[in-house]
């Protein structure tokens, strides 16, 4: 297997991981920003206040986007398995 092939596989895996993580990261970012604005307005400086809303938001996003995420990962795995003989020959 050549270095170009390994780099391409690594790039595909990394892109799939980032693409699959974006929905949860965006939800966490938006919830954190909203709670931060709320804390600034009310002068509440509790560090643990963001934990439960972020946890619930990420959990709900996993429920809604879980099928899409699994489809991305399954498509990558299927592509890697279908090209397995080509990887062995190079």
pTM of the model: 0.78
Structure tokens that stand for 34 in this block? 């909203």
pLDDT at position 49 is 85
Confidence grade of residue 90 (pLDDT, cut at 50, 70, 90): low
pLDDT in tens, 19-45: 999 999 999 999 999 999 999 999 888
Quote the CA–CA distance of 70 and 65 in Å, as a whole number. Answer: 9
Sign of the dihedral defined by the CA atoms of residues 79, 15, 52, 41, in that order? negative
Residue spans of alpha helices (H) in 1-90: 3-42, 51-82, 84-89
As given in the structure block, the two tokens for residue 82 are 């279908």
CA distances for 72 relative to 1, 14, 15, 82, angstroms: 25, 12, 10, 15
């Amino acid at each position: 297997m050549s270095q170009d092939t390994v780099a391409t596989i690594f790039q595909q895996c990394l892109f799939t991981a980032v693409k699959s993580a974006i929905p949860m990261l965006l939800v966490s970012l938006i919830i954190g920003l909203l709670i931060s604005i709320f804390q600034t307005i009310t002068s509440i400086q509790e560090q643990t206040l963001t934990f439960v809303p972020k946890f619930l938001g990420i959990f709900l996003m996993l429920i809604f986007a879980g099928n899409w995420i699994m489809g991305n990962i399954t498509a990558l795995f299927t592509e890697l398995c279908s090209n397995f003989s080509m990887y062995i020959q190079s």
